[in-house]
C-alpha cells in the first residue's frame, strides 16, 4: 500500500505538468490574437493622428471647407516689437449699382432757356435740363421783374418771358448846329479872347479847342462841343437850319 501511494505521488506532478502544457498550448492563439488586435489598434491610432496633424498643421493654407469656424489669424507686425494685429477678412464687394438714367429734356425748360438767352440772362446751352445756371437765370429775371425769386420753371414764368421786353427809347440826337450858328460862335470866341480861329462857320479842331478852353476857364464840363450852354454864355442865338 505504501508503494501504491508513492506511485500516485510520483505520477501527480507529471499529470499537473501535462495539464499546464495543454493550457499554454490552448492560450497561445488567444495571446497572439490580442497582440494582433493591439497592433492593429495602434496602427489605426497612428494613421488617424497623422491625418489630423497633416490637416491642422502641415497644410500651406486654410481648408476650403473647415468643419469648425476658427478665430481670425493673428499676424505679427513688421516692426518686430511682438505686437499682433487681427488679420482683416475681406468681404466680396457689392455689385455696382447702375447709374440712374438722366431725365429727358423738358420742352418747357428749353423754351424758358431760349427766352432768358434772348434777354441776355442765360448764356448756357439750351438743352431743356434744369441746372444751376438755369435756376440762377430764372431767379435773376424774377427779381428784375419784381416777382418772387423761386428759380423754378413754370408756365406763368414762360408767359411773362414771352411779353416783349420794355426797351428804353433812344435819346434824340442833338441836331447839328447850322453853319450860321457856328460862325456866330466863332466870332464870339474870338471876341472873348479865345482865338485866333478861322471864322468860316465850319466846326473843326480850332473851334473845338477854343470851346474847351472857355469851358475850362468857366468851370464847365469840358466837351469841346457846340451846346446850348456855350451859346447862352457867349450870347449867341442859335440860327435856324439853312434852307
CA Rg value for the chain: 62
Residue that wins the pLDDT comparison between 102 and 45: 45
Contact assessment for residue 231 and residue 175, using Cβ atoms and an 8 Å cutoff: no
pLDDT at residue 26, as a whole number? 61
pLDDT in tens, 174-221: 668 888 999 999 999 999 888 788 889 888 888 988 898 898 888 888
CA distance 112 to 26: 117
Query: In this model, does residue 17 exceed pLDDT 60?
Result: no
Q: Give 81-134 pLDDT, tens digit per residue.
A: 444 454 455 666 666 666 555 567 788 999 899 999 988 899 888 888 989 999
- pLDDT for res 214: 92
So what's the pLDDT on residue 156? 86
Domain boundaries, the chain: 1-58, 107-162, 179-233
Residue 138 has pLDDT above 90, yes or no: yes
pLDDT at 74: 47
Query: 81 in helix, strand or coil?
Result: coil
Q: Which residue has the higher pLDDT, 154 or 64?
A: 154
The model's pLDDT over 48-71, given as tens digits with 9 standing for 90+, comes to: 777 767 666 666 656 555 555 555
Give Cα separations from 11 to 8, 15, 24, 25, 105 (angstroms).
Answer: 5, 6, 20, 21, 128
Secondary structure E strands in 82-160: 84-86
- pLDDT confidence of residue 60: 62
CB 174 within 8 A of CB 152: no
Amino acid at each position: 500500500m505504501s508503494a501504491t501511494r508513492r506511485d500516485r505521488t510520483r505520477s501527480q506532478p507529471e499529470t499537473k505538468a501535462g495539464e499546464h502544457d495543454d493550457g499554454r498550448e490552448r492560450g497561445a492563439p488567444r495571446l497572439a490574437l490580442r497582440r494582433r488586435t493591439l497592433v492593429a489598434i495602434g496602427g489605426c491610432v497612428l494613421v488617424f493622428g497623422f491625418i489630423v496633424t497633416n490637416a491642422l498643421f502641415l497644410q500651406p493654407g486654410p481648408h476650403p471647407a473647415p468643419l469648425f469656424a476658427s478665430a481670425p489669424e493673428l499676424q505679427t507686425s513688421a516692426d518686430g516689437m511682438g505686437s499682433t494685429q487681427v488679420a482683416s477678412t475681406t468681404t466680396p464687394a457689392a455689385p455696382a449699382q447702375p447709374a440712374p438714367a438722366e431725365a429727358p429734356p423738358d420742352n418747357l425748360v428749353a423754351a424758358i432757356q431760349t427766352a432768358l438767352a434772348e434777354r441776355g440772362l442765360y448764356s448756357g446751352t439750351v438743352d431743356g435740363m434744369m441746372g444751376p445756371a438755369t435756376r440762377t437765370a430764372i431767379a435773376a429775371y424774377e427779381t428784375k421783374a419784381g416777382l418772387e425769386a423761386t428759380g423754378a420753371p413754370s408756365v406763368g414764368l414762360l408767359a411773362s418771358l414771352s411779353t416783349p421786353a420794355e426797351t428804353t427809347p433812344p435819346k434824340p440826337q442833338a441836331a447839328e448846329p447850322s453853319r450860321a450858328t457856328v460862325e456866330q460862335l466863332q466870332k464870339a470866341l474870338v471876341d472873348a479872347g479865345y482865338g485866333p480861329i478861322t471864322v468860316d462857320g465850319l466846326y473843326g479842331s480850332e473851334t473845338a479847342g477854343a470851346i474847351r478852353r472857355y469851358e475850362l476857364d468857366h468851370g464847365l464840363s469840358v466837351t469841346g462841343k457846340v451846346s446850348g450852354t456855350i451859346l447862352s454864355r457867349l450870347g449867341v442865338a442859335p440860327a435856324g437850319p439853312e434852307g
